[in-house]
C-alpha cells in the first residue's frame, strides 16, 4: 500500500495521467474504498459514500474577498471597509460537522487519508467554480519545530490533489516561517495578527505573478493576510487563497 501511495504522489502530474489512472484503479481493486464517515462503500473510488457527500456543508455563495458565506453574491461589509492584502479567497466548505471533524482528525490525529479526500473534494469544487488558475500553489508553511512535532504539513497534504488535478507546480519551499508561533485557536483577530507579524519570509519568487495560497481553515484571514503581504513585497502581482473550510470567530459570521 505504501509503495502505491508513493507512486501516485511521484506521478501526480497531468503528463502521467494514464499512469495515475492505473495506480488508482489497481489500488481500488486491492483495497476497495469505504466511507470514512459512516463505513459504507465509497463512491467513485473515494472514501465517501453518496449519502454523506450530499450532506456536506458546501459553501454555495460567499464573499469574493474573504470567502465568508453570504446570502447573495458580492463583497461583505468588512472587506468593503478594509480590503485584505490577498486579491480573492475561495473555500469549499463551511467549518461545520463533519468537515471540522475531518480537518481536526488530520491535524491532530495524523489521519492523512482525510487530506486526500478533502483535497479531491476541493479540486472538484474548484473545477466547477471556474476560477482563474495560478502559476503555482504555495501551501502555508509550518515552522520546522512544528513540522517535526506533527510529522507533516496539513496544507501541503491538501495541496497534492489540487496540483495533480490542475497540473500546477507545487512549491512548498518558496516561503518559510521565521519563528514558531502560538496556536491561533482561542486568539481574537488582533492577537492573531500580532502573533503572525513578520513571521513569513519569501525565499525565492522570481518571475512569478500569480500565486494561490493553500490552507486548511480560514478564520480571521490573518495567516493568509501576512503571507500575502510577504508575497506582494516579493513582487507577486496577484495572490489568491484556497482553503478547505471557512470559519468565523463567534459573532463575526
In tens, the pLDDT along 87-141 reads 999 999 999 999 999 999 999 999 999 999 999 999 999 999 999 999 999 999 9
In tens, the pLDDT along 152-197 reads 999 999 999 999 999 999 999 999 988 766 665 655 556 655 656 6
Mean pLDDT, range 135-149, rounded to an integer:
93
Cβ–Cβ under 8 Å, residues 4 and 11: no
Pick from 89, 90, 100: which is nearest to 56 by CA?
100
Confidence at residue 55, expressed as pLDDT on a 0 to 100 scale? 96
Mean pLDDT, range 53-68, rounded to an integer:
95
Query: Checking DSSP bridges between strand 136-139 and strand 175-177, what pairing results, if any?
Result: unpaired
The answer for residues whose C-beta is within 8 angstroms of residue 101's C-beta and 6 or more apart is none
**Whole-structure pTM value:** 0.82
The answer for residues whose C-beta is within 8 angstroms of residue 20's C-beta and 6 or more apart is 8, 11, 12, 164
Range from 3-12, 35-44, 82-91 carrying the lowest mean pLDDT: 3-12
Mean pLDDT, rounded, of the chain? 85
Share of residues in the chain with pLDDT > 90 (%): 66
Every domain of the chain and the residues it spans: 61-246
- The CATH code that applies to domain 61-246 is 3.40.50
Mean pLDDT, range 56-79, rounded to an integer:
94
Confidence at residue 156, expressed as pLDDT on a 0 to 100 scale? 97
Amino acid at each position: 500500500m505504501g509503495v502505491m501511495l508513493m507512486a501516485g504522489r511521484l506521478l501526480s502530474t497531468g503528463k502521467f495521467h494514464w499512469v495515475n489512472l492505473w495506480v488508482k484503479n489497481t489500488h481500488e481493486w486491492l483495497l476497495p474504498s469505504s466511507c470514512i464517515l459512516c463505513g459504507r462503500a465509497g463512491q467513485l473510488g473515494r472514501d465517501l459514500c453518496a449519502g454523506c457527500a450530499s450532506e456536506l456543508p458546501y459553501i454555495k455563495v460567499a464573499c469574493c474577498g474573504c470567502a465568508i458565506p453570504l446570502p447573495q453574491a458580492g463583497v461583505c461589509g468588512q472587506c468593503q471597509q478594509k480590503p485584505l492584502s490577498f486579491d480573492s479567497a475561495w473555500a469549499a466548505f463551511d467549518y461545520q460537522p463533519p468537515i471540522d471533524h475531518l480537518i481536526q482528525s488530520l491535524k491532530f490525529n495524523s489521519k492523512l487519508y482525510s487530506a486526500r479526500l478533502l483535497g479531491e473534494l476541493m479540486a472538484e469544487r474548484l473545477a466547477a467554480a471556474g476560477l482563474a488558475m495560478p502559476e503555482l500553489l504555495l501551501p502555508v508553511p509550518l515552522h520546522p519545530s512544528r513540522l517535526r512535532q506533527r510529522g507533516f504539513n496539513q496544507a501541503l497534504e491538501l495541496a497534492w490533489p489540487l496540483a495533480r488535478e490542475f497540473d500546477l507546480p507545487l512549491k512548498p519551499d518558496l516561503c518559510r516561517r521565521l519563528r514558531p508561533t502560538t496556536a491561533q485557536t482561542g486568539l481574537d483577530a488582533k492577537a492573531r495578527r500580532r502573533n503572525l507579524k513578520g513571521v513569513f519570509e519569501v525565499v525565492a519568487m522570481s518571475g512569478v505573478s500569480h500565486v494561490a495560497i493553500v490552507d486548511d481553515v480560514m478564520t480571521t484571514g490573518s495567516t493568509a493576510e501576512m503571507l500575502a503581504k510577504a508575497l506582494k513585497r516579493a513582487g507577486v502581482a496577484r495572490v489568491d487563497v484556497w482553503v478547505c473550510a471557512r470559519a468565523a470567530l463567534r459573532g463575526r459570521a
